[in-house]
Structure 1
Amino acid sequence: MSQPARVMSSDGVRSVKMRRRVLFASSVGNFVEWFDFTLYGYAASVIALTFFPPGNRAAALLGAFAVYGVAFVARPLGAVVFGRIGDRRGRRTALGASILIMGAATALMGLLPGWSSVGVLAPVLLLVCRLVQGFSAGGEYTGALTFTVEHAPDHRRAWYMGLVGSSTMLGAVGATAVALVFRSAFGDRFATEGWRWMFILAGVVAVVGLVLRLRVDESPVFEAMRDQRAPAPARPFRDLVRSHWKTLLVLFAYFGVLGLLTHMFLGYLPTYLNEAIGMRATTVLALTTAANVVSIPVALWLCVLADRHGRRVQIRLGAVAAVVLVVPAYLLIGTGSVLAVVAALLVFVFAVSLLQMGALSVLELYPTGVRFSGMALPYNAAYAVFGGTAPLVSELLVGGTGSLLAPAIYASVVALIALPVLLKGIPETKGTDLRGS
């Protein structure tokens, strides 16, 4: 009787070790994605001066934000390609390919010639790199969550999702920390060469992530589908659109609100605080870093509650917060007070952290054969429309209306339109058996 007990104990230890490795491998890739995108937001003013013609700072900044947004246009294509790979070939294969492509494009951005060297070719090359980044990101975040949640114990899926989700904020924290260090170390040379080394560093981290992902097992839920039930669907996106189109529309609304708030927070507010409010760049970086650090324990605490009490109440609270709290947050920022800015940033942290629980409900809504694609398509389509354009639209609204509140009103209106869908359209999914779907 003792031998079987030892065998089970050994299997259990191996299972726990593999879950930890999956968490780490998924988180590193997710870290790189958000590290890259946040770096671009913090370096937007320098990128504008490097890759666009001199003489018109406002136009150059708009150009830099436009390139930021264009990367999101390629995300839906990446969702189709990597979703198909993930649902047919396996989650691990898709994740390995996405992080390799992402790392190469990011490192190359740090090596591109500027406007002074090659003229109009400079922004074109920057645009190409950003498109490749966006394409690879189309399979990264959604794939990492799918892979991790399918490895997780059923009663701790929110906790596992929260640990991987925290890597997004860790990526943002890492980017701000690196930006602070490099600005200090390079001084006046940051605008000419310092910012480039930040992107090269991100490419190196991506290589580490690739190695880690090659050392983990495939998702047991995916293996169970392939071995016990039937082969993966030949056309997962066709099956997805035909059978789950209502869910896709609900999730497009959900990810639209989440993407707008997230990228207004990460991609636009640092520049807004610096350019429109007049805060020093180092102060802005320090405050946003602190806000991102605070968001991690907040998000993990909400995940514990979600495993105990369900997901839906948090989604509803986050949806209401997105409607009623963004304008007050911008009013606080407009005072110029450091304490008021801190309070405003915490408002964004609160709203985004509550809304992020909807990502788990997304995964639990779908059957295994379309789960990767069902997460990737609405997420990336919504982020292309609302997330990637958030900095550009916000800057255009401020410039066009002269009102510093215009971006907040825009975000609140979008959240208000989506509110009925978010309140009624996302069901409670706690307790769903992923292996039985």
Structure 2
Amino acid sequence: MSRSAPSATAAVTAASKSRRTVLFASSIGNFVEWFDFTLYGYTAAALAATFFPAGNHVAGLVGAFAVYGVAFVARPLGAIVFGRIGDRRGRRTSLGISIVLMGAATAAIGVIPGWAQIGVAAPILLLLCRLLQGFSAGGEYTGAMAFSVEHAPDDRRAWYLALVGSSTWLGTIGATGVVLAFQAMTGAGFAGGGWRGPFLLGGVIALVGLVLRMRVDETPVFKAMQAQQPAERPVRPFRELLRGHGRTLLILFAYFAVLGLFTHSFLGYMPTYLEQAAGFPASSVLWILTIVNVLSIPVGLVLAVLADRHGRRIQLRLGAVAAIVLVLPAYLLVGTGNLAAVVAALLVLLLAVNLLSAGAISVLELYPTKVRFSGMALPYNVAYAIFGGTAPLFSQLLVDGTGNLLSPAIYASVVAVLALPLLLRIPETRGTSLLR
């Protein structure tokens, strides 16, 4: 007995260490994805000045936001490719490939010559890099979700998912900190070329993520599914989805449409909105958003603990209602230009996003193992392509076209109202077996 006790303790310690490595490996790719996308939003003005003709600031900014949105067009294709790999070859394989492509595209943005050097080829190359980023992101977030949750203890799935989800905000915080650091180092030269350093750094972080992912094992749930699957019947995830899970795909599309619109309105457009509506300088905007993003992390983790103990559906429904009734008052507060009111408004918006994000564990648990990766990736990326990626561009066009700074808030509320009947149909999934 004296030998077995230390052996059992060592096994528990090894399992705990393995799960920490899994969480870190899952999170770092998501960190890089959101680091990249947030970095683009925060440097939109510098990118517009670099890659588009001089002389028309508004046209350059709209062009930069258009390239931001076009990247999302490639995400559904990435969802199909990486979803197929993830459900047939394994989550680990898919995540390894996606982070390599993402890192390469991010670093490439940092070395592309501008319009002054190569003319129209500059925005074309920028567009190609963004398309590659979007393609690789098509399998990143949903793959990391499946990978982490399938490694998690059954009673801590929401907690594991929240830890990976917190890397979203860490990515935005990291991007903000890096931009502030490079602005401090380069001063007025940031717009002239200092902005390139953060993109090169993103490529380096992706390489670190690849090494970490190659050190972790495939999920126990996926390996068990492979053992049960007859060799002569390979998994055809998208055929399975369309035949047996059409209703779930529609519900998840509505869910991710609302979540994507709110998330990218905040990350991609809010920096510009704070400058236009509230009159804050760019450096102050970055500091404000960093503080708010830091505060959102513990909120998300607390919600995850509650979801594991009491269920997921109540948070999802509260988030759906908050997306309808709170967004317009929040934008009105931002428009006051008062610092305290602006911070309060941003916290309200992030609370709605965090409540909606808590529902991601429910939609993940709706699927059987053999289509879980694809079933998440497809509606997530199609919805984000239509509503998430276009959020900054469409918001800017609404403001320019109507002259009403509240038009982005009205648009977000209308989308949430239309999606509400489908969101209310998501069932409680706490306690559902993942291996089925």
Cα pair 2:172 2:293 within 8 Å, conserved: yes
Aligned positions of 1:227-242 closer than 5 A: 227-230=227-230, 233-242=234-243
Q: Look up the match of 1:85.
A: 85
Q: Look up the match of 2:368.
A: 367
Cα pair 1:78 1:136 within 8 Å, conserved: yes
Q: Look up the match of 1:341.
A: 342
Within the alignment, does 1:292 sit opposite 2:310 as a pair?
A: no
Q: Look up the match of 1:356.
A: 357
Quote the Cα distance in structure 2 between the aligned partners of 1:163 and 1:289: 18
Cα pair 2:277 2:337 within 8 Å, conserved: no
- Residue deviations 1:208-251 (CA, integer Å, cap 9, x gap): 00000000011010011112344584321111111100000000
Q: Look up the match of 1:382.
A: 383
Cα pair 1:277 1:334 within 8 Å, conserved: yes
Q: Higher mean Cα deviation, 18-27 or 224-233? A: 224-233
Q: Look up the match of 1:417.
A: 418
What secondary structure does 1:347 align onto?
Answer: helix
Report how many aligned residue pairs link the two structures: 435
Quote the Cα distance in structure 2 between the aligned partners of 1:2 and 1:74: 58
Quote the Cα distance in structure 2 between the aligned partners of 1:133 and 1:394: 22
Amino acid at match of 1:247: T
Amino acid at match of 1:116: A
Amino acid at match of 1:333: V
Amino acid at match of 2:209: G
Q: Look up the match of 1:26.
A: 26
Residue 12 (structure 1) shift: 2.3
Quote the Cα distance in structure 1 between the aligned partners of 2:59 and 2:276: 14
Amino acid at match of 2:180: L
Residue 2 (structure 1) shift: 4.8
Residue 273 (structure 1) shift: 1.0
Cα pair 2:30 2:140 within 8 Å, conserved: yes
Within the alignment, does 1:137 sit opposite 2:133 as a pair?
A: no
Residue 6 (structure 1) shift: 4.4
Within the alignment, does 1:263 sit opposite 2:278 as a pair?
A: no
Query: Any stretches of 5+ residues in structure 2 without a counterpart?
Result: none
Q: Look up the match of 2:119.
A: 119
Quote the Cα distance in structure 1 between the aligned partners of 2:23 and 2:7: 24
Q: Higher mean Cα deviation, 225-234 or 10-19? A: 225-234
Residue 76 (structure 1) shift: 0.5
- Residue deviations 1:336-371 (CA, integer Å, cap 9, x gap): 111111011101110000000121111111100000
Cα pair 1:150 1:220 within 8 Å, conserved: yes
Quote the Cα distance in structure 1 between the aligned partners of 2:5 and 2:378: 44
Amino acid at match of 2:287: A
- Residue deviations 1:374-401 (CA, integer Å, cap 9, x gap): 1100000000000000000000000000
Quote the Cα distance in structure 2 between the aligned partners of 1:28 and 1:4: 36
Q: Look up the match of 1:246.
A: 247
Q: Higher mean Cα deviation, 222-231 or 144-153? A: 222-231
Amino acid at match of 1:301: V
Quote the Cα distance in structure 1 between the aligned partners of 2:155 and 2:46: 46
Cα pair 1:233 1:369 within 8 Å, conserved: no
Residue 420 (structure 1) shift: 1.2
Quote the Cα distance in structure 2 between the aligned partners of 1:66 and 1:55: 18
Amino acid at match of 1:346: L
Q: Look up the match of 1:38.
A: 38
Quote the Cα distance in structure 1 between the aligned partners of 2:235 and 2:287: 49
Q: Look up the match of 2:206.
A: 206
What secondary structure does 1:215 align onto?
Answer: coil
Amino acid at match of 1:258: L
Cα pair 1:326 1:411 within 8 Å, conserved: yes
Q: Look up the match of 1:310.
A: 311
| TM-score scaled by length of structure 2 | 0.98
Within the alignment, does 1:99 sit opposite 2:99 as a pair?
A: yes
Within the alignment, does 1:170 sit opposite 2:170 as a pair?
A: yes
Q: Higher mean Cα deviation, 267-276 or 69-78? A: 267-276
- Residue deviations 1:11-45 (CA, integer Å, cap 9, x gap): 32221111000000111111000000000000001
What secondary structure does 1:217 align onto?
Answer: coil
What secondary structure does 2:217 align onto?
Answer: coil
What secondary structure does 2:195 align onto?
Answer: helix
Q: Look up the match of 2:157.
A: 157
